[in-house]
Chain A
Amino acid sequence: MVTKREIKRIIALLLSATVVFSSQLLTAHAHNSDYFSGTYTASQSIKDMNFRIESSAITSLLTSQVYYSAYAWDNVSSNVGTIGIAIAAPGMPSSGFIIVTGKSYTDGTLGETIPRKADGSIANVDDNWAGVSIRMNTNSNAFSGASNPTTAAKKTFIHEVGHTLKLSHPKKNSSLSGHIYNGLPRAVMNQGYPNSQAVASTVVTHDKTNLRTKWGT
């Protein structure tokens, strides 16, 4: 027979275990070198991130399914919540969105996140941002070096949305916890095709931990 007092003690134990567990989750792989400082100002809010995919960003490889893959960031942090992805169509409002356009690059760029000040000029990564613009490489050769071009394209858009959420590239440093692949962690925020163990194809623990440390659980 379990007494009320024992139940209380068990609950307290469970609670403290939860606290320890969640705080460990928070600190285990969180490195302040893995995210930018600053926040969003002006109309853009981290709690209400909506992306509008312009027709220039749609190709036979970069389909709506590629863009919907960024839902992988949903509910990782309650302060970020869920993100919205809208494929642009005539009559759709254009304000309140982060605009995603396409461009043919030949320099090895897969995608880019351009942070902006309130006047539209380029902002420093660690400053407050009024908004960002995302560009995806629509060159047909851009993802051909990947073992799976569709997976690589999804990874790039998830990565760009990660930059929009102020995450940076993890630093190569094997003394940081979780940086277990020649000094890099497994993360979608690493650069390049997801052909190696360190470059994840979607949001994984290291990315989630940094997002929660940046914006709250």
Chain B
Amino acid sequence: MKKTLTTILSALLLVTATGCGDKETEVTNNNSTDKTSQLEIVKVEGDRVVYYDFDSLDASADLVVIGSYKNDSTQNLEYEYSSEFGKDVLVNAVSTNEIEVSKVLKGTTDEDSLKISQRYGIVDEPYQLVTFSEMTAMEKGDEWIFFLYYDDSNDTYWCSGDYTGRYPLPDDSLTAVCNEVNQIREERENWLSGKQTDVTANANNDYVYTSVDGSEYSFTAQADIDKVKSFDERISSAVGEVDASDFGVYDKNLINIELYCDIINQYDCTL
């Protein structure tokens, strides 16, 4: 009896503890302007096409623009009957936002504003922001670099590979980070130039590094592995002060700083 009570108590404590850990935020979205209570963010997991390097990201985009969020959006919540729960449950959410274009970096558009869709929505019961996207919900004042592709079946644009298709403008601190990262990458390229690139020649590789140009390097010697990892560590620490929110993602691990530096090197993002 005592044991059962202890179990129940610790279970209760556990629930309370995780409840405190919930991320809470205020979202400036016209869907929620009349709400003052705190919004719980819940993120759905999935599998999707994402882009790991500049060339494939750029090739996937019909349009690359700098744009800012205009304060109007529509959202579509989709429910489906669940026999397990005996009622309709939420299965999809799409918000479509108007984005005012301030600069076109790739492609052409006659429009001053574009419709961009993102997989999130705000639900009343319980009061939640449900996101199927790794990107943060659009907020008033948001301005981003967008890699977009057109979806003619829904007459809307989507970000290429979700979070891999939306980036912050390079302010002073991000420019400084990129300068440092570019310098580390240059050192790494110099070091790599003397290394063999044929991975298949060495099936027992302990570390495989793919450079920006797609060349694959295979390392078995501990000194080489330590060296190539040390470049990664230096790049990670250069990113140190950048927050997930600066990149508009829920998880800092999703920031691909090398890809971002390539975008900044490739496109003139000054307004």
Chain A residues within CB distance 8 Å of chain B: 33, 38, 94-95, 97, 99, 101, 103, 106-116, 119-128, 131, 133, 135, 145, 155-156, 159-160, 163, 168-169, 171-175, 180-183, 191-193, 196-197
Contacts and interface: CB of A to CB of B under 8 A. Distances in A.
Contact of A108 (B43, B49, B209, B232): B49
Nearest to A145: B49
Interface string B22-50: 10000000000000000010111111111
Interface in B181-217: 199, 205-210
Q: Which are the 3 A-B pairs with shortest beta-carbon distances?
A: A120-B85, A112-B46, A94-B83
Interface size class of B (residues with CB under 8 A): 35 or more
Interface of B: 15, 18, 21-22, 40, 42-50, 52, 80, 82-85, 87, 89-92, 117, 119, 123, 125-126, 128, 130, 132, 151, 153-154, 158, 160-162, 199, 205-210, 228-229, 232-233, 236, 253
B158 A106 contact: yes
Contacts of A126: 18, 21
A204 B46 CA distance: 19
A155 B41 CA distance: 28
A203 B3 CA distance: 39
Nearest to A98: B84
A108 B49 CA distance: 5
Nearest to B126: A121
A97 B85 CA distance: 11
Contacts of B52: 196
Contacts of A125: 43, 45
Contacts of B40: 124
